[in-house]
Structure 1
Amino acid sequence: MEVFLALTALLAVDTALSIQERINGENGWYVPKIDGTSEWMDLHKAKTLLVNVKRFLFDADVSFYLYTSSNPTKGKKISASKSSIHDSYFNKDHPTRFVIHGWTKSYLDSLTIIITKAWLSRGDYNIIVVDWADARTNYLAAVLAVPGAGGKVGEMIEYLHDSHGMSLKSLIVIGHSLGAHVAGYSGKTVGSGRINTIIGLDPALPLFSYYAPNRRLSSDDAFYVESIQTNGGIFGFLKPIGKAAFYPNGGMQQPECNLISFCSHVLSVIYYAEAVTHKNFAAIKCRNYIAAMRRDCSSTYKHVRMGAIGNAHEAEGTFYVPVKQNAPFGYNKIPTDL
């Protein structure tokens, strides 16, 4: 009996150590599968696989759909040609927003639609929704398609700036999950100009490394990069990767969401659309991301709000963002009981 108990205890310790050794995003990743489950892939295997499968990767098609106040619900497909832009409602005098979906989604996904509606509710904008849905067959293929898709977005941005007078100073590129890294690559490849702002909505963690900023969204990809991190350490990055990083509810799990479900991951989009419409996500400056996770920050705030346009010149560092369980999720003022 004593031998059995000892073996059981050793097995429990060994199992615990094995679990502890798996640090998502550090020595491997829990890679999502199309059926909603995840599979662990250690760092060495992932690197080997990524290198070996590159030669089999197809170049995913990337399409662009323009929405404006003149066509708010039916996107006009545009391309980098004079006739295409002239036949659309594109207006160089209006600020432009690029919106990029994540894995398994398309330009018609509800998440891109709510961001489009949010910006159009504020006035006249060119909203260009990027579709790179051909790369959604599996997560690995989508990851390998990110650089090419981002490059094509960068080329479109460069074309609209050089040939049609689109302002880079007012340009904001918004990407969710893998789309956040596509946005990052658009900034890396845009040409001689520089994107003003990139918003990364819970940038995807699996198969991306904090220590390889040249292969993911990074703070150098635009004049200002903001990350809104809602499912850190699971589907999204936990460590900050932008000039300013916002951590709603501590950045890992959102109210009423299961930690390992897509619920918290998706809420980054819902929060951002609300922030655009209502400008109501007050934020508290923290010493670092660990303090934000633990809500170990001050109880006061000044002027920075998550998702605000003015953040490009005002926000830097790490911020804790209190949220409610139901919409509207943001606080106009910091509650006193935090």
Structure 2
Amino acid sequence: MFDHICVSPPLICPNENVSFWLYTRANENNPHELKVSDTDSIASAPWVKNSPIKILIHGYTGHRDFSPNTEIRPAYMECCDYNIISVDYNKIALEPCYIQAARNTELVGMCLAQLIDEMVQNHGFELGQFHVIGFSLGGQTAGYVSNYLKSGTLNRISGLDPALPLFATMDKLKKLDSSDAHYVDVLHTNALAKGKLESSGHADFYSNGGVVQPGCTSTENQTKSGCDHARAPIYYAESILTTTGFYAKKCYSWMTYIIGWCDLYYRSDEVLYGEYVSENTTGIFFFSTNSEPPYARGPNTLN
């Protein structure tokens, strides 16, 4: 009965189901659509020259004014004079069509790679300017970009609780992993439910153990699992602006953390999670948060 909305278009880009919208401080409330089929739309866009380009990718049921855009885009607007590109593939990520939406992440990644290639090859942008940030299905979408990018390797991908359902696979080409960019950092907030437990990047951060988040309960509009999952973009957005910081400790594995052995064997210095993570940071890390905003608790030595 859902055949009329549950669709998986062919892998052809540009695609009418995938659009890209540029936001800067100059046009924060009037986004500019970027089209590979209309190169003037790229040339005439109100770019902040030589500034970083942050690309935000939503997840299931989302759109350009849905998480992670609603949390992260305003934070960037407040902190920095950046170029923000919001990807919108709402038409092929509609409820109740999760199976098709998961399958369509490859198409979205393919079309985003085409846009980046066009910008780099024909409009003078540097590949090092791009930082792709994907939430849930958007995190897995970010992994597909590298499969189709012709200009080189992305500098950084940040996965925010990358989706688990239909991505429990050994095939690296079908999920986000550390080969997809020079640096891949991943946050886990709802592992074993909506998000993945397995490490997926150069650095994987598990907030409050990565499964459930303090302060999350079921509400009329959201399940507890949905709340746990949604904390990922909230924490990342806070990391852009906070002066307190999310400080994490290294551990060998998630199981080592669960049985309480991390402090016995790993007493290394804490590292900062989020926007300003050092790209020399590698391994598995754990940090705690408050149950309500502000969530960041600062260095553990102060708690």
TM-score normalised by the shorter chain: which range applies?
Answer: 0.7 to 0.9
Aligned partner of residue 186 in structure 1, secondary structure: helix
In the other structure, the counterpart of 2:250 is: 285
- Aligned partners of 1:97 and 1:171 also within 8 Å: yes
* Cα pair distance change 1:294/1:329, threshold 3 Å: farther
Instruction: Write the deviation string for residues 91-110 of structure 1: whole angstroms up to 9, x where unpaired.
Output: 34111010000000100115
In the other structure, the counterpart of 1:79 is: 35
Which of the residues 264, 277, 289 maps onto 2:228? 264
Asked whether 1:325 is paired with 2:291, we answer yes
Identify which range, 325-334 or 171-180, moves more after superposition: 325-334
* Cα pair distance change 1:195/1:293, threshold 3 Å: farther
In the other structure, the counterpart of 1:215 is: 174
Asked whether 1:57 is paired with 2:8, we answer yes
Read off the aligned partner of 2:262 and give its amino acid letter: C
TM-score between the two structures when normalised by the length of structure 2? 0.87
- Aligned partners of 1:251 and 1:293 also within 8 Å: no
- Aligned partners of 2:136 and 2:162 also within 8 Å: yes
1:155-234 aligned at under 5 Å gives the runs: 155-234=114-193
In the other structure, the counterpart of 1:45 is: none
Structure 2 distance, partners of 1:113, 1:180, is 16
Instruction: Write the deviation string for residues 36-84 of structure 1: whole angstroms up to 9, x where unpaired.
Output: xxxxxxxxxxxxxxxxxxxx73246110000011112332111124311
In the other structure, the counterpart of 2:220 is: none
* Cα pair distance change 1:333/1:152, threshold 3 Å: same
Gap runs ≥5 in structure 1: 1-33, 35-55
Structure 2 distance, partners of 1:194, 1:277, is 28
- Aligned partners of 1:92 and 1:166 also within 8 Å: no
Read off the aligned partner of 1:302 and give its amino acid letter: D
Structure 2 distance, partners of 1:329, 1:318, is 20
* Cα pair distance change 1:71/1:146, threshold 3 Å: same
Structure 2 distance, partners of 1:291, 1:73, is 47
* Cα pair distance change 1:234/1:88, threshold 3 Å: same
User: Across the two proteins, how many residue pairs are aligned to each other?
Assistant: 282
- Aligned partners of 2:190 and 2:211 also within 8 Å: yes
* Cα pair distance change 1:295/1:65, threshold 3 Å: farther
Aligned partner of residue 271 in structure 1, secondary structure: helix
Which of the residues 24, 29, 32 maps onto 1:68? 24
* Cα pair distance change 1:220/1:290, threshold 3 Å: same
Structure 1 distance, partners of 2:83, 2:260, is 37
Asked whether 1:315 is paired with 2:274, we answer no
- Aligned partners of 1:234 and 1:260 also within 8 Å: no
- Aligned partners of 1:168 and 1:196 also within 8 Å: yes
Read off the aligned partner of 1:76 and give its amino acid letter: H
Aligned partner of residue 162 in structure 1, secondary structure: helix
- Aligned partners of 2:56 and 2:68 also within 8 Å: no
Identity of aligned residues (%): 33
Aligned partner of residue 70 in structure 1, secondary structure: helix
Structure 2 distance, partners of 1:281, 1:98, is 22
Residue 260 of structure 1: how far off its partner (Å): 5.4
Structure 1 distance, partners of 2:164, 2:188, is 11
Residue 165 of structure 1: how far off its partner (Å): 2.2
Gap runs ≥5 in structure 2: 218-222
1:225-244 aligned at under 5 Å gives the runs: 225-244=184-203
Rg comparison, structure with higher value: 1
- Aligned partners of 2:215 and 2:292 also within 8 Å: no
* Cα pair distance change 1:135/1:295, threshold 3 Å: farther
Read off the aligned partner of 1:174 and give its amino acid letter: I
In the other structure, the counterpart of 1:90 is: 47
Instruction: Write the deviation string for residues 92-136 of structure 1: whole angstroms up to 9, x where unpaired.
Output: 411101000000010011531221111222221110000011112
Aligned partner of residue 283 in structure 1, secondary structure: strand
Structure 2 distance, partners of 1:262, 1:64, is 26
